[in-house]
Amino acid sequence: MRALWGLAGVAVAFVCSMVAATGLENGEKRSGFDFMTPETQALQTDDMSNPGMLWVLQGEQLWQQPEGRAEIACAGCHGDAGQTMGGVAARYPAFDEAIGRPIDLAGRINSCRAARQRAEPLAPESDELLALTTYVAHQSRGMPVAPATDARIAPFRDNGRRLFQSRIGQLDLSCASCHDANWGRRLGGSVIPQAHPNGYPLYRLEWQAVGSLQRRLRNCMIGVRAEPFAFGAPEFVDLELYLMERARGLPIETPGVRP
Amino acid sequence: MARALINVPKTARRGEIVEIRAMIAHPMETGYRMGTNGASIPRDIIRRFACGYDGEEVFSAELFPAMSANPFIAFTLVATASGAITFAWTDDAGETQTVSAEMAVS
Amino acid sequence: MGDPSRSHGLSLPVRRRQVLAAGLAGLVVVSLPRSALARPSLEEAIKTFTGGAEVLDGRVRLELPPLVENGNAVGVTIAAESPMTAADHVIRIGLFNEKNPEANVVIFHLGSRSGRAKVSTRIRLATSQVVVAVAEMSDGSFWSSRASAIVTLAACIEDLS
């Protein structure tokens, strides 16, 4: 089976070599939602069917729960997330003074835990971290992706673009080879989407759970037979910065559902 | 506490057929998968779901590993009296998680 | 990792090993019938559900998407024609599959207080196959409906590390 997909990858690489890699034109920007079957779309749009809402529910409970040696809850500082967190996921990653580089939403939650709650960081892809991230991002659902215009993050975003366009792995493919040059075509039974981050964290039927954008990016890297960056690697934040710029204007869908 | 989403109408007319939807966070691990080290992941599923209303069990289900993770079940009930509709999910270890919702019937 | 198609092939070696171990232990496992090593067939599973009663076509409608993007969550709706009165209603609805490692999917217990014999859920399909819904009526009769789905697999496989 793996050999088969390897062959499919080589076929795609061949197609890609013929099509010049170009960015997305404005009019053709489409969320991954548009490429799904009506059944999977219905799973996302109906909150009572969307399994991702289980993580939103958990996040809502964690938001209220005092944590760490400071025994303070997220709500202790930020109050009602419905009032204070709207639009945050639409503009993240943002520049973090303390570390001198951009930080993503999950990173911000963990740095808040360390600095304010004086609690241990939550593990990457743990239900708790995913739940809080999903809950916060959910407060921006329906808002257009609007990356921060902070000059300090520009070099990191540029690095993200470079990573997006760099060929990697044994299949020698870049993100752009598939998601810029061949979106809308098929790889095996699946449509190749444009790779927008506007639904994350999201519920993938393949995962049978909610997962982060970094988990998805690692899957892609493994798919092209490259060594994936570790969870929390700065390269992932840079990539996310570029992906958010590329997705500017698309609505936040968190929690999205994807096959 | 149970991580469950249930959808019950807040109000109904007596005799009205209402739709109920229930979903609980659970991996529904089949027992047929292998983990990263090649060892099989032990089975862990919700085995039974039951809904109680107005004095008795009105709906139940026996679940097998072919039920999706985070099992979702939608069914109907006849609104007979105001009160709690209770939901109970019992797993392989025999542990039961319960949630309830109120419905006012006029 | 989440690919249900992997599970099918994995179940057999484990059971063979168990049988082997049992044989070495000197237990009476000389000639287990072939069926003990495999799952019951779709028909056998339905027979267990009905107790061997005749199953008629009709009165049940099983809705299943013909093309499935991911077999981990396939939405199904089963509806039976029944007045759902105290005297005449659906007692049970069983759902069975052809090619998963186990034939049973779910068994719903309904009654006159259900109002309608209609249930929706999400199921796992390891591969393209036939699914059958069987309803047991309060008069003891069994009715069934079958549908099949083509399950496509994701092109990008999950991290196993």
Residues of B (35-94) whose Cβ lies below 8 Å from A = 68-70, 72
Catalytic center residues of A: 220
C66, closest residue in chain A (CA to CA): A39
pLDDT at residue B35 greater than cutoff 60:
yes
Q: How far is CA C54 from CA A130, C43, C142, in A?
A: 50, 12, 7
Of A236, A217, A258, A255, nearest in space to A137 by CA: A255
Determine the average pLDDT of the residues in C96-109: 97
- State the number of CA atoms in the 13 A half-sphere of C99 facing the CB: 15
Across the interface, whether the CB atoms of C121 and B73 are under 8 A apart is answered: yes
From chain C, pick out residues whose CB is under 8 angstroms from the CB of B78: 112-115
What is the Cα–Cα distance from C82 to C122, expressed in whole angstroms? 23
Residue of B21, B25, B28 with shortest CB distance to A54: B25
From chain A, pick out residues whose CB is under 8 angstroms from the CB of C70: 40, 205-206, 259
pLDDT at residue A9 greater than cutoff 70:
no
Residue-level pLDDT at A189: 78
pLDDT at residue A89 greater than cutoff 80:
yes
Residue of A49, A61, A209 with shortest CB distance to B72: A49
Q: Is C82 touching B (CB cutoff 8 A)? A: no
Determine the average pLDDT of the residues in B68-86: 98
Could you tell me if residue B40 is inside a domain?
Answer: no
Residue-level pLDDT at C161: 45
B68 DSSP assignment: P
CATH at B22 = 2.60.40.10
For residue A107, give the 3-state DSSP assignment: helix
pLDDT band at B34 (very low <50, low <70, confident <90, very high): confident
For residue C137, give the 3-state DSSP assignment: strand
Closest CA of chain C from B84, distance in Å: 15
Pair of tokens at residue A187 = 């790889």
Q: Is C113 touching B (CB cutoff 8 A)? A: yes
For residues C1-35, one letter each, b for 16 or more C-beta atoms within 10 angstroms of the residue's C-beta and e for the rest, the string is bbbbbebeeebeeeeeeeeeeeeeeeeeeeeeeee
Identity of the amino acid at A53: M
Cβ pair C105, B64 in contact under 8 A:
yes
For residue A152, give the 3-state DSSP assignment: helix
Pair of tokens at residue C53 = 């009663």
Residue-level pLDDT at C159: 54
From chain B, pick out residues whose CB is under 8 angstroms from the CB of C83: none
Of chain A, the percentage scoring pLDDT greater than 90 comes to 86
Closest CA of chain A from C116, distance in Å: 20
Q: Is C159 touching A (CB cutoff 8 A)? A: yes
Q: Is C135 touching B (CB cutoff 8 A)? A: no
| CATH for the stretch C40-151 | 2.60.40.2470
Could you tell me if residue B33 is inside a domain?
Answer: no
Determine the average pLDDT of the residues in A40-52: 96
Residue-level pLDDT at A8: 52
pLDDT band at C38 (very low <50, low <70, confident <90, very high): confident
A67 DSSP assignment: B
pLDDT band at C21 (very low <50, low <70, confident <90, very high): very low
Across the interface, whether the CB atoms of C72 and A36 are under 8 A apart is answered: no
Phi, psi for C7 (deg, rounded to 5): -65, -35
The total number of structural domains that make up chain B: 1
Residue-level pLDDT at C158: 64
Altogether, the residues listed in chain C come to a count of 161
Q: Is C7 touching A (CB cutoff 8 A)? A: no
Residue-level pLDDT at C17: 45
Residue of B3, B7, B72 with shortest CB distance to A57: B3
**pLDDT tens track for A212-239:** 999 999 999 999 999 999 999 999 999 9
pLDDT band at A259 (very low <50, low <70, confident <90, very high): very high
Sign of the C-alpha dihedral, residues A34, A40, A41, A43? negative
Residue predicted with more confidence, C12 or C58:
C58
A154: left (phi over 0), alpha (psi -120 to 50) or beta: alpha
B69, closest residue in chain A (CA to CA): A208
pLDDT band at C156 (very low <50, low <70, confident <90, very high): low
Mean pLDDT, chain C, rounded, equals 82
Q: Is A51 touching B (CB cutoff 8 A)? A: yes
The H or E element containing residue B6 is strand B4-7
A175 DSSP assignment: H
From chain B, pick out residues whose CB is under 8 angstroms from the CB of C73: 68-69
From chain B, pick out residues whose CB is under 8 angstroms from the CB of C79: none
A/B interface, count of CB pairs below 8 Å: 32
A217-231, C30-44, C45-59, C86-100: range with lowest mean pLDDT: C30-44
For residue A44, give the 3-state DSSP assignment: helix
Residue-level pLDDT at A82: 96
Pair of tokens at residue B44 = 């862990």
Residue-level pLDDT at C98: 97
Q: Is C124 touching B (CB cutoff 8 A)? A: yes
What is the Cα–Cα distance from C32 to C35, expressed in whole angstroms? 8
Identity of the amino acid at A252: I
Non-local CB neighbours of C43 within 8 Å, separated by 6+ positions: none
Across the interface, whether the CB atoms of C114 and B76 are under 8 A apart is answered: yes
Residue predicted with more confidence, B37 or A116:
A116
Could you tell me if residue B36 is inside a domain?
Answer: no
- State the number of CA atoms in the 13 A half-sphere of C57 facing the CB: 2
The radius of gyration of chain A from alpha carbons, rounded to an integer in Å, stands at: 18
Residue of B32, B40, B68 with shortest CB distance to C101: B32
For residue C156, give the 3-state DSSP assignment: coil
Pair of tokens at residue A113 = 């835990």
The radius of gyration of chain B from alpha carbons, rounded to an integer in Å, stands at: 16
Of C122, C134, C8, C105, nearest in space to C71 by CA: C122
Domains of chain A, with CATH numbers?
A: 31-45+146-258 (1.10.760.10), 53-138 (1.10.760.10)
Residue of B68, B76, B80 with shortest CB distance to C116: B76
Specify which residues C143 forms β-bridges with: C56, C135
Pair of tokens at residue C154 = 């994701």
Mean pLDDT, chain B, rounded, equals 96
Of chain C, the percentage scoring pLDDT greater than 70 comes to 72
Specify which residues B103 forms β-bridges with: B83
Could you tell me if residue B32 is inside a domain?
Answer: no
Residue-level pLDDT at C155: 59
Across the interface, whether the CB atoms of A48 and B23 are under 8 A apart is answered: yes
Which domain does B95 fall in, by range? Answer: 4-26+45-105
pLDDT band at C101 (very low <50, low <70, confident <90, very high): very high
Pair of tokens at residue B94 = 């025999």
Could you tell me if residue B96 is inside a domain?
Answer: yes
Identity of the amino acid at C131: V
ipTM of the complex: 0.96
From chain B, pick out residues whose CB is under 8 angstroms from the CB of C123: 66-68
Determine the average pLDDT of the residues in B6-22: 98
Residue-level pLDDT at A188: 79
How far does CA C98 lie from the centroid of its chain? 7
Residue-level pLDDT at A26: 66
A217-221, C7-11, C25-29, C116-120: range with lowest mean pLDDT: C7-11
